[in-house]
A and B are shown apart, each in its own frame.
Chain A
Amino acid sequence: MSTTQHHDPDRETPAQEVAPPGPPGRTAGRAPLLVAAVGVVAGVMVLLAGLPASASLFGTPLADLTLPTALLLVLAGVWVAGWTSSARPPWRVVDIVTASVLGVACGLLFVVWNLSWATLSNGLAFFPPLSAVAAGVWLLPAVLGGLVVRRPGAAVYTELVAATLSALIGNQWGFATVWYGLLEGLGAEIVFAVLLYRRWGLPSALLAGAGAGVVVGLLDAFVYYPEFPPTYKLVYVGLALLSGVVVAGVGGWALTRALGRAGALAPLASARDARRV
């Protein structure tokens, strides 16, 4: 890893002195490739060998988790490679404050949504997994933060701030919201990292929404509904993914474009793609 730049998001030097090292990707040595290769190989091996059927995780036979585990390994490998080899511009004050303010605004929306959801989910109780369709709203800050601020970690940070605020104001899930926020944000962040923090269009937004959706689906299935039959859990995760793609993905992308047109992104990296006004 010696050829890659160590990254510290809170580096205490002015921006000029940590200017990104040349065109993106130039500093990538062989180490990131190696990491990616290890991840891919490990993933393929898990897929071929299969996990033991005799053990279970949260009531799910491990064998059922073979594909997700393999995917996770591949993604993690590619993510590490992407993270280390991408040119990661440092966070400026305006980036930090913007992401924070976005997080707080979304936290406020959560407060409204949390209570609406309580009524909505009761209406869907005839088939409980349906309540997952509402999950996308909680994933919006992750996609929005990533697309607007365009800095490594923006998705996690924005989602974390929104979730923390929702917990601080008080909601029906209490403190667990903070961990949820962190993990949901990571689900979206991995996607942006795998794309080397260079793609910020609709496909990236959809994938990031999907990433966050899978995470929230799995978390809910294991933390809140561990005693549901596996088919329910599967439907739940699938609907959460769909909701993540549609609400957080499409929604986040459309919101970012609209914010650009309203001139609200002027000092940010995302303004470069917004129509010049």
Chain B
Amino acid sequence: MSALELGVRDDVDPGAVLARANPVAKLAVATVIALGLLLSVDPVTAGVALALELACLPLTGVPLRGAWRRSWILLLAAVPTGVLTAFFGVDDGAVLLGLGPVDVSAGSASAGLGITLRVLAIGLPGVLLVLSTDPTDLADALAQVLRLPHRFVLGALAATRLLGVMAGEWEQLTLARRARGLGDDGLLGRVGTFGGQAFALLVLALRRGGVLATTMESRGFGAGGERTWARPSRMSWLDVFVVMCGAALTTTATAVGIAVGTWELVIVGSA
């Protein structure tokens, strides 16, 4: 259950540049990198971006082990996607491995590598962002800096706090299924049990949500008028610097890709 607690981990250095940056700035960095990398599928651009991101790791204040523990899961999506592309992608160039209907060619292999690196390079900033950002700070920034509707931002934040309660409840529900004699059927039975359990979770969540809404409303939430913020969230020069670094990282990676000649704009090209 402890894995389901959100927020800054104890092992993150609170003095690090990215830990001090406004969450909106970090969000901007992750977005800039993602958009920049979506333009092309090539191993060089994505690889350079990934390398630069890893080089920036000390700025996040996240220790190496913590970063690995939280980001290895990205490989679960990145590697199979790349491998599938290598096998099933459009073939181009010398065939490296022929397996009857599916071939690995130089072109598809490079595309596969490019995809894997790209998925990693897009995903990693998100993971690092999460590790050094507290959900409360993120919500404050979204409502005060980005001016998103505060009722929705705070509603989501309050619901997020129920995550731990729901995770505990899920465990109870699992035990209760066993106590009722469920859970030793085949795959279909298990899917059915899972569905029933999900339903019970939703019923309990909605009930609890009703109480939470009553609590929030009774403390003046959503009654209109101005709202003040006990924790002001502002953009500083540090944040400008952080966003510039993100832009520089994307630009550098793209420039290297162009210089090497692997970079190719995939949005619009000739057929």
Using a CB–CB cutoff of 8 Å, the interface residues on chain A facing chain B are 9-10, 12-14, 53-59, 61-62, 91-94, 96-105, 107-109, 111-112, 118, 121-122, 125, 128, 157, 161, 164-165, 167-176, 178-179, 223-229, 232, 255, 258-259, 262, 264-267
Segment among B154-162, B228-236, B243-251 that sits at the interface with chain A: B154-162
Cα distance, A169 to B129, chains bound together (Å): 12
Cα distance, A164 to B170, chains bound together (Å): 20
Cα distance, A201 to B162, chains bound together (Å): 30
The contact sample of 29 A-B pairs, CB cut-off 8 A, is A10-B149, A10-B151, A14-B224, A53-B271, A56-B268, A56-B271, A93-B213, A93-B216, A94-B213, A96-B222, A98-B210, A100-B209, A101-B205, A102-B202, A105-B166, A105-B201, A112-B194, A164-B156, A170-B130, A172-B73, A172-B77, A173-B74, A174-B122, A174-B126, A175-B125, A224-B77, A226-B115, A227-B112, A228-B89
Residues of A within 8 A of B266 (CB): 58-59, 226
CB nearest to A11 among chain B residues: B224
Taking a contact as CB atoms closer than 8 A, the residue among A62, A91, A112, A125 that contacts B151 in the complex is: A91
Q: Does A104 contact B270, Cβ atoms closer than 8 Å?
A: no
Q: Does B90 contact A14, Cβ atoms closer than 8 Å?
A: no
CB nearest to B6 among chain A residues: A168
Cα distance, A59 to B267, chains bound together (Å): 8
Residues of B within 8 A of A94 (CB): 209-210, 213-214, 217
Q: Closest CB-CB distance, A233 to chain B, in whole Å?
A: 11
Q: Does B30 contact A97, Cβ atoms closer than 8 Å?
A: no
Q: Closest CB-CB distance, A182 to chain B, in whole Å?
A: 12
Which residues of B in the span 251-271 have a Cβ within 8 Å of any Cβ on A?
A: 266-271
Q: Does A9 contact B159, Cβ atoms closer than 8 Å?
A: no
Select the residue from B80, B208, B270 with max chain A CB neighbours within 10 A.
Answer: B80
Residues of A within 8 A of B158 (CB): 97, 100
CB nearest to A64 among chain B residues: B271
Taking a contact as CB atoms closer than 8 A, the residue among A100, A121, A225 that contacts B159 in the complex is: A100
Q: Closest CB-CB distance, B127 to chain A, in whole Å?
A: 6
Additional pairs, 19, CB under 8 Å, beyond known A172-B78, A227-B115, A228-B88:
A12-B225, A58-B267, A59-B90, A61-B271, A97-B210, A98-B210, A101-B209, A104-B205, A108-B167, A112-B194, A170-B130, A173-B77, A174-B74, A176-B34, A179-B34, A226-B111, A227-B112, A228-B85, A259-B199
Verify if B12 is at the interface (C-beta below 8 Å from A): no
Query: For chains A and B in complex, what number of residue pairs have CB atoms within 8 angstroms?
Result: 215
Cα distance, A54 to B269, chains bound together (Å): 9
Q: Closest CB-CB distance, B154 to chain A, in whole Å?
A: 9
Q: Closest CB-CB distance, B212 to chain A, in whole Å?
A: 5
Residues of B within 8 A of A121 (CB): 80
Q: Does B73 contact A227, Cβ atoms closer than 8 Å?
A: no
Q: Does B271 contact A224, Cβ atoms closer than 8 Å?
A: no
Which residues of B in the span 97-130 have a Cβ within 8 Å of any Cβ on A?
A: 108, 111-112, 115, 119, 122-127, 129-130
Q: Does B223 contact A14, Cβ atoms closer than 8 Å?
A: yes
Residues of A within 8 A of B90 (CB): 59, 227-229
Verify if B41 is at the interface (C-beta below 8 Å from A): yes
Q: Closest CB-CB distance, B79 to chain A, in whole Å?
A: 10
Verify if B70 is at the interface (C-beta below 8 Å from A): yes
CB nearest to A58 among chain B residues: B266
Residues of A within 8 A of B166 (CB): 104-105, 108
Q: Closest CB-CB distance, B116 to chain A, in whole Å?
A: 10
Q: Does A172 contact B74, Cβ atoms closer than 8 Å?
A: yes
CB nearest to A94 among chain B residues: B213
Taking a contact as CB atoms closer than 8 A, the residue among B124, B167, B199, B206 that contacts A101 in the complex is: B206
Q: Closest CB-CB distance, A147 to chain B, in whole Å?
A: 12
Verify if B96 is at the interface (C-beta below 8 Å from A): no
Residues of B within 8 A of A62 (CB): 271
Residues of B within 8 A of A125 (CB): 80, 84
Q: Closest CB-CB distance, A176 to chain B, in whole Å?
A: 6
